[in-house]
Amino acid sequence: MARVFITGSSDGLGLMAARLLIEEGHSVIAHARGGQRARETRTALPGAKHVVTGDLSSITQTRGVADQVNALGDVDAVIYNAAVGPDERRRIETADGLSHVFEINVLAPYILTALIARPRRVVYLTSGLHRGGDPSLDDPQWEHHAWRGSQAYSDSKLYDLALAMAVARRWPEVLSNAVSPGWVPTKMGGAGAPDDLTQGYLTQAWLAVSDEPAALVSGCCFFHKQQQQFHPAARSPEVQDALTGYCARLSGIPLPA
């Protein structure tokens, strides 16, 4: 039995992955943004061992999520599922003065990766849209360019992939991979999304706990349990180090070597 922490597990793919893992006998630590969402999550996931809370659009609250997880003891795997989608019509600035999309989709998983006691496996959710992402970090907060929500999302998903590859390179004892769930009919994807919803959450759960040889790899990106090609910039140590260095400066939290 594995202990798995899943961000953004109050609905969507995170909730579905949590249910599957609980049904398989694993111990799940769920995550919700605040008190009301936590109560809803406890109702939706009665088998969850714990529900930690914290708004991932806040550096302070994200640090608090890491503290709560660490206080519960070591976890075997973390699934970084929480994200906001590509349909934000304008640039929203968080209380930290950062782009809402960047802080939730990129900075939060970076902070949690840096602060949670090192698990044996980590899984980061990316998207097929990462292929259109810009790896340059030229203006990640969209302070100097006209806002384009779809591009900001694509960039963030490329950064998530680069973070997964950075962890795989820096921490060889940890299995670090990314998952593209496909365009699935969730709240984010919309009712008309054409991909298989079941496959959207199966792969992240499989990577978190499976002992199948195909799951015991690191530095890969998966779609429906199959490795797939991805943007070559995510493999670049220079891109990875630029991203992790930037996140370290924003948060004041270095990624352990």
Identify the helix (H) or strand (E) that includes residue 199: helix 197-209
Distance, CA of 225 to CA of 203 (rounded, Å): 5
Chain centroid to CA 115: how far? 14
217 beta partners: none
Q: Between helices 149-170 and 108-115, what is the axis angle to 10°?
A: 20
HSE at residue 137, side-chain half, CA atoms within 13 A, is 16
Catalytic residues: 153, 157
CB burial of residue 155 (10 Å; 0-12, 13-18, 19+): buried
Distance, CA of 126 to CA of 86 (rounded, Å): 12
